[in-house]
């Protein structure tokens, strides 16, 4: 063959194999791009199967010789009732029959020269030794991958989607949510990365509570479906090819992402809008079309807020998928550039569930998407920080007292609800936030990971101020965006920013705070124990701080305010005291002692005292013991007594309908 | 007699039953008051009253959720008692219906003696009637709603509109059945008072026939009366938010407004009985009639 022909063929194949400049999202990589996937997948909507061919290139970015690879085969979590996922879910996710199960089988695994490696592969269960679990595949290599070198593998696979479970699967009627559907390589962590003491693969089994962890890279995915399907996916759609067999192949390209998901349904109604450089595409169920503006509006509000308070959303697209009826378990899930929401036909404007879910999942494109922490091991870094920002965004958009619900005079805010999720737990001491996701006591993962973390962040915000908090988040994003931060990395940023802005006002660092709240299980509960007012000056000797004298001529009262620390967590707290002449005094206490007394000698006695009057310490588990007054407020007692009287009268009257 | 004439007459006649309505109102107030004062006592003794002060200005989710989590046992106990009292009040209302209908039937002015005599005369029959009506209604509604729910839950649909339609259909059918049963129960009581029928169940069957034969007129009357009572509640719900009750005077106004609406509902109930008595009188065969 002539050289010129070879050159032309080489160029042509390069053009086919790699995205053109026009298809590139970014002029320069945003991440290290450890992986590159090129996948052709064909949907069989009848058998709910995916036939795939995957070309994976993995680069050894460490200085280690890497002798084996590890892969996630997440769909095998739904293979039978004995998988780790199914066991841990305690039957909660068990599906009725074999027809509803999901699985993924590798048909071949080869090097580009055709050498089969499949025979070398074995399933392992690094977390629990469960032989029935096939969600992690270990592949010893014929030769190790040297530092800086790449390895390319070509796999063919068949995947069967389960009836929707754990945010993936199908719903009868042809709704497809393809999440975690392809063989995905784990993350090789060299010594020093996150908490790794020595180099090794971080590739956990799929657990009931866990989500995901993967390396950034480039995805080129060709999705072939019957032509009646509307498809949405991670990335940009770069090509659409109509095939002779009444199918369409949609080519998607995504850069600097660590996962790829797609959804398909013949019933999607598409609504598009733009936010700055981002095309927002909402794929709505027909019966929810009237709510497209709510979803898109929430997405825009989230992007606006996150852009201002965390960092820029660099991707050019965002797809919102509205799951079909019966696909509730596909809702409320985040993937890079693609999120799933969830709503009902009848959803009053005052119930802000669609907005909340949308805001939460858009937030995940930061806390998970770009700040790609390990969701298996440190779920608080994505779910918790995202929950914190969800509450900030929702409360900012709809008001702190009505951002979750505002209906018929009944209202509550997103942060209020989040805090209650933690504060009303049966056992809030059951585990520290810093627990591997699958090791939380059953039923406590959500409240501790989402809610408590958000409350911890809100309390930090209360202490250091919102401007400092924003500075923390911006620094964290700038430094750790498109990388894999750990909890220690986040705390290091907090320490650095707080010290820069506040000096040593909070000590040399904030570790004392995170030791108690992220690593500890203690509660924060301060109580206003007593207000004692006595005429005359205080006794000559007494406990507590020396009396604060602020008296002029005339009668003198000594007011003693007693505060107790009922919980283990120690935080600085403010105490506000009101006196009978309308004056006030504010105390700041380091919160250390178990009991503390403050005395005020004035011409007026104290009538009311409250701990943390501005509710900065959201962690305080019980606000009802934060306040005391000399005379109980009778008005509020009567107001609600009369309300109860009225409704009981009506209840009795209602009881007369059969009489 | 035309329906609107019966309706107008019922409103006018019930308007003259002031003492009867007042007696029913006081009984209702006393029993509900016991619960409400129990609620007040539970709150006052819980030790967290000072923290509730912000509720004077409006609802505060954090205070309420923390309160109920840490100190809510007393309030929950009061609420449970209220539900038990609701069941007791069903029986009480059954007994009192005899007194109400006797007074309305005879057109006499209110006296406690006549009221309690009427209560005693029909107490057992009305309690049996209440149990029968309640049982039939519960079984029927459970069947209808269960059917609609099971179809809604299993129907293979790509949209929730299909199951919602099934559930909505079930609810509408249930509401219609409930209305029929309420009317049958009401007219059974009217017939018992008119004819002194001894068998509650047979009278219930007879009243059901009466309701079916006079379906449109009976239903129209019932709906008119129910609309009046419903309007009272809607009006209250519209007015209540406009009165935040953040001071002693405003709380007092709230109290009077609440009690006005409670009295209005009791008056509406008496008016329904008056209308049903008038309607039954206008439609029953001439001369004395026995249910069986």
Q: pLDDT for B49-58, tens place per residue? A: 899 999 998 8
Among B39, B93, B161, select the one facing A345 at the smallest CB separation. Answer: B161
A121/A109 Cα distance (integer angstroms): 9
- Where residue B244 falls among pLDDT bands split at 50, 70, 90? confident
Q: pLDDT digit string (tens) for A199-209?
A: 999 999 999 99
B124/B214 Cα distance (integer angstroms): 28
Mean pLDDT of B247-260: 90
And the tokens for A582?
Answer: 């309308």
Q: pLDDT digit string (tens) for A227-238?
A: 999 999 999 999
Among A324, A410, A633, select the one facing B49 at the smallest CB separation. Answer: A633
Interface of A with B in 583-612 (CB under 8 A): 608
Q: How many CB atoms lie within 10 A of CB B83?
A: 13
Residue numbers in B near A409 (CB within 8 A): 59, 240-241
* Whether A626 contacts chain B with CB within 8 A: yes
Q: pLDDT digit string (tens) for A565-590?
A: 999 999 999 999 999 999 999 999 99
Task: Tell me the helices (H) and strands (E) count for chain B, helix number first.
Answer: 9, 0
* Whether A633 contacts chain B with CB within 8 A: yes
| DSSP assignment letter at A369 | I
Residue numbers in B near A417 (CB within 8 A): 61
Cα–Cα distances in angstroms (integers) from residue B89 to residues B33, B93, B113, B273, in the given order:
13, 6, 21, 18
Q: pLDDT digit string (tens) for B99-140?
A: 999 998 888 778 889 999 999 999 999 999 999 998 999 999
Residue numbers in A near B241 (CB within 8 A): 409
Q: What are phi and psi of A419, to 5 degrees?
A: -60, -40
B258/A649 Cα distance (integer angstroms): 10
> Three-class SS string for B191-216?
HHHHHCCCCHHHHHHHHHHHHHHCHH
Give percent of chain B above pLDDT 70: 95
Angle (CA) B188-B192-B197 rounded to 5° is 115
Sheet containing A557-565, strands listed edge to edge, beginning at the edge strand earlier in sequence:
A526-535, A557-565, A595-602, A548-550
Mean pLDDT of A488-511: 97
User: Above 50 in pLDDT, residue B248?
Assistant: yes
> Are residues B262 and A649, on separate chains, in Cβ contact within 8 Å?
yes
Mean pLDDT of A25-37: 97
Between these two residues, B89 and A529, which has the higher pLDDT value?
A529
What is residue A541's predicted lDDT score, i.e. its pLDDT? 54
Residue numbers in B near A649 (CB within 8 A): 28-29, 32, 258, 262
- Where residue A120 falls among pLDDT bands split at 50, 70, 90? very high
Mean pLDDT of B157-164: 81
Whether A568 contacts A621, CB under 8 Å: no
Rounded to a whole number, what is the distance in Å from the CA of B84 to chain A's nearest CA? Answer: 10
What is residue A11's predicted lDDT score, i.e. its pLDDT? 41
Mean pLDDT of A244-249: 98
* Whether A120 contacts chain B with CB within 8 A: no
Q: Searching chain A, which residue's CA lies closest to the CA of residue B244?
A: A639
Q: Searching chain A, which residue's CA lies closest to the CA of residue B78?
A: A644
A538/B168 Cα distance (integer angstroms): 71
What is residue B42's predicted lDDT score, i.e. its pLDDT? 94
Q: Specify the residue for token string 């403010």.
A: A574
Interface of A with B in 336-355 (CB under 8 A): 344-346
> Are residues A287 and B159, on separate chains, in Cβ contact within 8 Å?
yes
Give percent of chain A above pLDDT 90: 86
Interface of A with B in 266-285 (CB under 8 A): 267, 285
B54/A636 Cα distance (integer angstroms): 8
DSSP A146-204: PTT-EEEEEEEEEEEPPBSBTTBEEETTTEEEE-S-S-EE-EEE-TTSTT-SS-EEE-P
User: Above 70 in pLDDT, residue A8?
Assistant: no
B182/B185 Cα distance (integer angstroms): 5
Enumerate the β-bridge partners of residue A203.
none
Average pLDDT, chain B: 87
User: Above 60 in pLDDT, residue A302?
Assistant: yes
> Are residues B156 and A172, on separate chains, in Cβ contact within 8 Å?
yes
**Mutation for testing the B interface, residue in A175, A652, A654 having most B CBs under 10 Å:** A652
Sign of the CA dihedral A87, A93, A98, A103? negative
What is residue B10's predicted lDDT score, i.e. its pLDDT? 73
Q: Which among A274, A341, A284 is positioned nearest to A313, based on CA atoms?
A: A274
> Are residues A642 and B126, on separate chains, in Cβ contact within 8 Å?
no
> Are residues A658 and B185, on separate chains, in Cβ contact within 8 Å?
yes
Poorest-confidence range of A146-155, A479-488, B16-25? B16-25
Q: How many CB atoms lie within 10 A of CB B243?
A: 12
Cα–Cα distances in angstroms (integers) from residue A168 to residues A102, A175, A370, B210, in the given order:
10, 11, 22, 58
Q: pLDDT digit string (tens) for A382-432?
A: 999 999 999 999 999 999 999 999 998 789 999 999 999 999 999 999 999
Q: Specify the residue for token string 């042509």.
A: A12
The winner for highest mean pLDDT among A280-284, A326-330, B218-222 is A280-284
Q: pLDDT digit string (tens) for A121-142?
A: 999 999 999 999 999 999 999 9
What is residue A12's predicted lDDT score, i.e. its pLDDT? 42
Residues 6+ apart with CB under 8 A from B201: B128, B132
Whether A319 contacts A337, CB under 8 Å: yes
Mean pLDDT of A351-367: 98
Enumerate the β-bridge partners of residue A656.
none
- Where residue A263 falls among pLDDT bands split at 50, 70, 90? very high
What is residue A358's predicted lDDT score, i.e. its pLDDT? 98
What is residue A537's predicted lDDT score, i.e. its pLDDT? 84
A206/A125 Cα distance (integer angstroms): 10
Distance of CA A87 to the CA centre of its chain: 24
Among A286, A636, A654, select the one facing B56 at the smallest CB separation. Answer: A636
> Are residues A658 and B90, on separate chains, in Cβ contact within 8 Å?
yes
User: Above 80 in pLDDT, residue A457?
Assistant: yes
């Amino acid at each position: 063959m002539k050289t010129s022909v070879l050159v032309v063929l080489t160029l042509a194949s390069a053009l086919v194999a790699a995205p053109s400049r026009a298809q590139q999202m970014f002029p320069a990589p945003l991440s290290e791009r450890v992986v590159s996937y090129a996948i052709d997948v064909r949907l069989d909507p009848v058998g709910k199967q995916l036939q795939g061919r995957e070309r994976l290139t993995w680069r050894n970015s460490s200085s280690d010789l890497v002798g084996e690879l590890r892969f996630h085969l997440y769909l095998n979590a739904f293979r039978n009732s004995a998988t780790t996922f199914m066991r841990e879910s305690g039957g909660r996710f068990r599906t009725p029959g074999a027809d509803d199960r999901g699985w993924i089988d590798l048909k071949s695994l080869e090097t580009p020269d055709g050498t089969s490696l499949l025979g070398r592969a074995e399933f392992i269960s690094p977390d629990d030794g469960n032989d029935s679990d096939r969600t992690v595949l270990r592949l010893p290599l014929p030769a190790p991958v040297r530092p800086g070198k790449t390895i390319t593998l070509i796999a063919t696979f068949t995947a069967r989607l389960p009836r929707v479970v754990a945010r993936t699967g199908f719903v009868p009627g042809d709704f497809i949510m393809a999440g975690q559907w392809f063989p995905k390589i784990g993350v090789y962590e060299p010594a020093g990365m996150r908490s790794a003491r020595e180099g090794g693969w971080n590739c956990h089994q799929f657990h009931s509570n866990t989500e995901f962890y993967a390396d950034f890279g480039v995805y080129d995915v060709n999705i072939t479906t019957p032509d009646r399907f509307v498809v949405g996916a991670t990335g940009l759609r770069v090509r659409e090819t109509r095939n002779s067999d009444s199918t369409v192949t949609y080519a998607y390209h995504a850069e600097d992402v660590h996962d790829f998901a797609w959804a398909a349904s013949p019933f999607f109604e598409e609504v598009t809008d733009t936010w700055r450089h981002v095309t927002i595409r909402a794929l709505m169920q027909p019966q929810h079309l009237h709510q497209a503006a709510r979803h898109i509006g929430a997405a825009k509000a989230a992007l606006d807020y996150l852009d201002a308070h965390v960092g820029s959303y660099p991707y050019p697209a965002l797809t919102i998928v509205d799951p079909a009826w019966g696909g509730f378990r596909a809702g409320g899930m985040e993937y890079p550039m693609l999120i799933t929401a969830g709503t009902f036909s009848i959803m009053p404007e005052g119930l802000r569930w669609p907005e909340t879910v949308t805001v939460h999942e858009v937030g995940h494109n930061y806390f998970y998407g770009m700040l790609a922490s390990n969701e298996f091991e440190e779920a608080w870094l994505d779910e918790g920080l995202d929950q914190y920002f969800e509450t900030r965004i929702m409360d900012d958009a709809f008001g702190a007292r009505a951002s979750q619900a505002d209906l018929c005079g009944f209202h509550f805010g997103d942060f209020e609800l989040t805090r209650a999720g933690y504060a009303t737990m049966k056992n809030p001491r059951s585990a520290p936030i810093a627990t591997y996701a699958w090791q939380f006591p059953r039923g406590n993962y959500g409240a501790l990971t989402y809610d408590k973390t958000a409350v911890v962040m809100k309390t930090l915000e209360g202490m250091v101020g919102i401007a400092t908090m924003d500075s923390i988040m911006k620094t964290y994003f700038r430094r750790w965006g498109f990388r894999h931060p750990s909890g220690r990395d986040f705390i290091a940023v907090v320490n650095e920013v707080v010290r820069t802005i506040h000096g040593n006002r909070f000590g040399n660092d904030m570790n004392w705070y995170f030791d108690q709240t992220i690593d500890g299980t203690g509660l924060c509960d301060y109580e206003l124990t007593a207000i004692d007012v006595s005429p005359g000056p205080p006794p000559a000797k007494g406990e507590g701080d020396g009396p604060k004298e602020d008296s002029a001529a005339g009668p003198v009262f000594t007011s003693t305010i007693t505060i107790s620390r009922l919980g283990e967590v120690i935080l600085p707290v403010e105490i506000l005291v009101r006196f009978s002449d309308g004056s006030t005094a504010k105390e700041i206490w380091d919160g250390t002692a178990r009991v503390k007394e403050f005395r005020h000698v004035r011409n007026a006695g104290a009538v009311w005292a409250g701990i943390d009057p501005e509710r900065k310490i959201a962690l305080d588990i019980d606000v009802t013991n934060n306040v005391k007054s000399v005379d109980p407020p009778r008005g509020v007692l009567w107001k609600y007594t009369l309300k109860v009287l009225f409704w009981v009268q009506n209840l009795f009257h209602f009881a007369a309908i059969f009489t | 007699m035309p329906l609107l004439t019966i309706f107008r007459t019922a409103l006018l006649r019930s308007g003259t039953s002031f003492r009867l309505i007042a007696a029913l109102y006081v009984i209702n107030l006393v029993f509900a008051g016991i619960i409400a004062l129990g609620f007040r006592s539970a709150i006052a003794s819980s030790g967290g009253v000072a923290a509730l002060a912000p509720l004077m200005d409006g609802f505060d989710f954090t205070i309420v959720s923390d309160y109920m989590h840490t100190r809510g046992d007393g309030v929950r106990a009061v609420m449970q008692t209220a539900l038990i009292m609701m069941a007791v009040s069903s029986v009480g209302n059954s007994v009192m219906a005899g007194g109400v209908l006797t007074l309305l039937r005879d057109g006499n002015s209110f006296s406690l003696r006549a009221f309690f005599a009427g209560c005693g005369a029909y107490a057992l029959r009305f309690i049996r009637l209440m149990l029968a009506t309640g049982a039939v209604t519960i079984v029927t509604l459970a069947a209808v709603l269960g059917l609609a729910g099971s179809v809604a839950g299993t129907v293979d649909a790509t949209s929730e509109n299909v199951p919602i339609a099934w559930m909505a259909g079930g609810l509408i059918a249930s509401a219609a059945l409930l209305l029929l049963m309420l009317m049958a129960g009401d007219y059974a009581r009217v017939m018992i008072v008119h004819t002194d029928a001894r068998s509650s169940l047979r009278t219930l069957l007879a009243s059901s026939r009466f309701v079916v034969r006079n379906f449109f007129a009976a239903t129209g009357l019932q709906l008119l009366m129910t609309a009046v009572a419903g309007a009272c509640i809607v009006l209250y719900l519209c007015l209540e938010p406009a009165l935040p009750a953040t001071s002693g005077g405003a709380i007092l106004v709230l109290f009077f407004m609440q009690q006005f609406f409670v009295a209005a509902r009791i008056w509406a109930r008496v008016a329904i009985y008056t209308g049903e008595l008038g309607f039954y009188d206008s439609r029953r065969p001439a001369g004395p009639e026995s249910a069986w």
